């Protein structure tokens, strides 16, 4: 596609379009709301794809900029698919100068695995080592804030005599 501009500038993002797409067309983010999207953008490296000044694609990278990155919320508007916009966004993310020292770049995909394979992604090596904690399965005590690491006298293990 000619006239394609890839940008990492969060101030250029069309957050209303992104939110509408995620809520209405992305199976992974149907529960997204405006405040959550703003927080996600603020704490991610964002990628916007623009054609003639109008945003047509989005992706974000959640990273510590040292060893790990997670690619999330990747999409291209339907009218612009098949024109390598998604490839351009992912290649730009992978080539970003601040991400060159990463050991691991992960993503989860239900229906675009072939697309990501073309860009060098593959199944997890040693996938049996990876675990997840889903909010629905977490013990309620783990989700409370603030918490204290101090144990009360009654909770402390007693020394045997």
DSSP, residue by residue, 57-109:
EEEEEEE-SSSEEEEEEEEE-GGGTTSSHHHHHHHHHHH-GGGTT-SEEEE--
Identify the structural domains of the chain with CATH numbers, from first to last.
Answer: 4-120 (3.40.630.30)
Adjacent-strand bridge partners of 63: 69
Sign of CA dihedral 104, 110, 111, 114: positive
pLDDT score at 63: 97
The radius of gyration computed from the CA coordinates of the chain, to the nearest angstrom, equals 20
- Quote the DSSP letter at residue 47: E
Mean pLDDT of 106-116: 80
Nearest in space to 61 (alpha carbons), one of 75, 49, 44, 48: 44
Dump pLDDT digits (tens) for 50-84: 999 999 999 999 999 999 999 999 999 999 999 99
- CB burial string 53-86: b at 16+ within 10 A, e below: eebbbbbbbebeeeeebebbbbbbbeebeebebb
Nearest in space to 89 (alpha carbons), one of 19, 11, 13: 13
The residue among 1 and 75 whose pLDDT is bigger is: 75
HSE-up (13 A, CA, CB side) for residue 6? 20
pTM for this structure?
0.80
Dump pLDDT digits (tens) for 28-57: 777 788 899 999 999 999 999 999 999 999
């Amino acid at each position: 596609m000619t006239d394609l501009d890839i940008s990492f500038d969060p101030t250029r993002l069309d957050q209303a379009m992104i939110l509408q797409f995620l809520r209405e067309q992305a199976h992974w983010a149907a529960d997204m709301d405006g405040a959550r999207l703003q927080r996600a953008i603020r704490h991610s490296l964002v990628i916007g794809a623009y054609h003639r000044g109008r945003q047509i694609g989005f992706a974000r990278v959640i990273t510590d900029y040292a060893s790990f990155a997670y690619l999330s919320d990747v999409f291209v508007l339907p009218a612009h698919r098949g024109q390598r916009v998604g490839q351009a966004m992912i290649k730009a993310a992978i080539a970003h100068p601040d991400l060159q020292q990463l050991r691991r770049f992960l993503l989860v995909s239900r229906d675009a695995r072939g697309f990501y394979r073309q860009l060098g992604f593959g199944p997890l090596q040693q996938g049996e080592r990876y675990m997840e904690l889903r909010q629905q399965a977490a013990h309620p005590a783990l989700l409370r804030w603030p918490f204290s690491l101090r144990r009360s006298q009654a909770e402390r293990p007693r020394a045997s005599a």
